[in-house]
Amino acid sequence: MSAPTENRPLNIVVWNENVHESRGDETVLGHYPDGMHTVIAAALREQHPTAEVATATLQEPEHGLTAERLASTDVLFWWGHVAHDQVADEVVDRVVEAVHAGMGLVVLHSGHYSKPFTRLMGTTCSLKWRNDGERELVWTIAPEHPIAAGVPHPIVIDRQEMYGEYFDIPRPDEEVFLSTFAGGEVFRSGVAYRRGLGRVFYFSPGDQEYPVYHHPDVQRVLGNAAAWATPTSARRTLSADPHPRDWFLAGGAGTTEG
> From the CB of residue 204, how many other CB atoms can be counted at a distance below 10 Å?
27
- What's the pLDDT score for residue 244? 87
Tens of pLDDT, residues 156-184? 999 999 999 999 999 999 999 999 999 99
Ranges in the chain, pLDDT < 70: 1-2, 5-6, 251-258
Torsion of CA 32, 38, 41, 42, to 10 degrees: -80
Q: Which residues are 179's β-sheet partners?
A: 138, 187
Whether this model's pTM surpasses 0.95: no
Q: 41, 95, 50, 45: which is closest to 73 by C-alpha?
A: 95
**H helical segments located in the chain:** 19-22, 26-31, 36-47, 67-71, 89-101, 115-121, 216-229
Q: How much of the chain is in helix, strand and coil states, percent to nearest 5?
A: 30, 30, 40
- What's the pLDDT score for residue 252? 58
- What's the pLDDT score for residue 6? 60
- What's the pLDDT score for residue 257? 47
Q: Does domain 11-122+190-229 have CATH number 3.90.230.10?
A: no
**H helical segments located in 48-172:** 67-71, 89-101, 115-121
Where in the chain are the domains? 11-122+190-229
Return phi, psi of residue 251, to 5°.
Answer: 95, 15
